[in-house]
Amino acid sequence: MSAYSEDGTTAVAREPVDRAPGRRPPPRVYAALDLGTNNCRLLIAEPRRHGFRVVDAFSRIVRLGEGLARTGRLSEPAMDRAVEALKICRRKLVDRSVSRARLIATEACRAAINGSEFLARVKDEAELDLEIVSRETEARLAVIGCAGLVDIESDGAILFDIGGGSSEVVWIDLAGKGAHRGVDRAIGAWASLPVGVVTLAERFGGHEVDAAVFEAMVADVTLRLEAFRGAAEVDRAAAGGRIHLLGTSGTVTTLAGVHLGLDRYDRRRVDGLWLGADEVDQMVARICAMTHADRIASPCIGFDRADLVIAGCAILEAIRRRWPCTRLRVADRGLREGILAELIDADRRDGYGDQDGWR
């Protein structure tokens, strides 16, 4: 159904449509797919004058990286789950007449010995061409996707994306050079930690986690943060007290949902929410005090995340202890939004928007 265009994105084949003379063609439809270690997510959108409007979305926990840290391979059941989810994504791409898309795979496929074999199977069975992106690309796309939530009056933000198999940490330096050219040009330093909620939970356990095990998780992540090359620069900025944390992951959105006491998850109330340090402390303590059954029963956690959320809290806690900030902003957005923004901006630069009337 698709072929790569010259810039590496995917151009989805479509039948020509007859239109009345003088009638403007409908806006292009764009798609972004992110196949991670834990989730398969799809976003389909139409451009608007400022940003885009989502017309369809899909998200399913597939646990593609289940057992990967132990065996080095993607298991057959995990690949089966992912392929079935990707078949649904393909149907949505066709049904929505998507004209341009970028379909990416991240840490699980990067790390697995059989990652390329799995992508060949995806192409054969789901008819989708997935691109394994680098950790640097993953971090950059997360920044682009979350740029609108950075407090531009601050000196900067520490953006973190807690994934299933890796966690990206990015220092956005708004007081340095290049910030005037946009938040995505203000990346001062970044690191990709080879640890995520799936890998950490598999190593330490995720069902009934006591305080000692939780602290061991935090210590493990803290050691990995030493790989952050810009740590000294961020330390100086954090000491000034004018930076904030910006979290994009299921962990922080879960914290926000619990904090708000939502009976049902509501993205409109979560995305962009500010939490104070004391509020985050309370939510982490509350979640860690829950039993596994309690977490399953929580409408903002549920069965699929019940054994992973404490590992996510440990990664968050390691970041917070390394760089204490008084404010944390919650982002229910990230890689997919970054992909869509890049695709749409590229077409605008090529003049597509001027010709076809962006709304």
- Predicted pLDDT of residue 181: 58
Whole-number Å distance between alpha carbons of 151 and 155? 9
Residue type, 308: L
DSSP string over 146-172: HGGGS-TTSSEEEEEEE-SS-EEEEEE
DSSP secondary structure code for residue 181 in this structure: G
Q: What is the mean pLDDT of each run of 10 residues along the chain (359 residues)?
A: 35 41 71 96 93 94 94 97 98 96 96 96 97 93 94 93 93 75 78 92 93 96 87 84 93 94 93 97 95 94 94 97 95 95 88 43
- Predicted pLDDT of residue 14: 36
Secondary element (H or E) of residue 192:
strand 187-193
Whole-number Å distance between alpha carbons of 305 and 312? 10
- Find how far residue 115's CA is from the centre of its chain: 20
Please answer whether residues 256 and 304 qualify as being in contact, where contact means their C-beta atoms are separated by less than 8 angstroms.
no
* Residue among 175, 178, 183, 177 at smallest CA distance from 140: 183
Instruction: Give me the residues paired with residue 111 across strands.
Output: none
Instruction: Give me the residues paired with residue 243 across strands.
Output: 156
- Predicted pLDDT of residue 25: 61
Half-sphere exposure of 179 (CA within 13 A, CB side): 16
In terms of DSSP bridges, do strands 131-132 and 100-105 run parallel, antiparallel, or are they unpaired? parallel
- Reduce the DSSP state of residue 283 to 3 states and report it: helix
The structure tokens 């901006």 sit at 345
- Predicted pLDDT of residue 7: 35
Buried b (16+ CB within 10 A) or exposed e, 6-39: eeebbebeeeeeeeeeeeeeebbbbbbbbbbbbb
pTM, to two decimals: 0.85
In terms of DSSP bridges, do strands 156-162 and 52-61 run parallel, antiparallel, or are they unpaired? unpaired
Q: Which domains are seen in the chain, by residue range?
A: 2-133 (3.30.420.40), 149-333 (3.30.420.150)
- Predicted pLDDT of residue 16: 39
- Predicted pLDDT of residue 18: 44
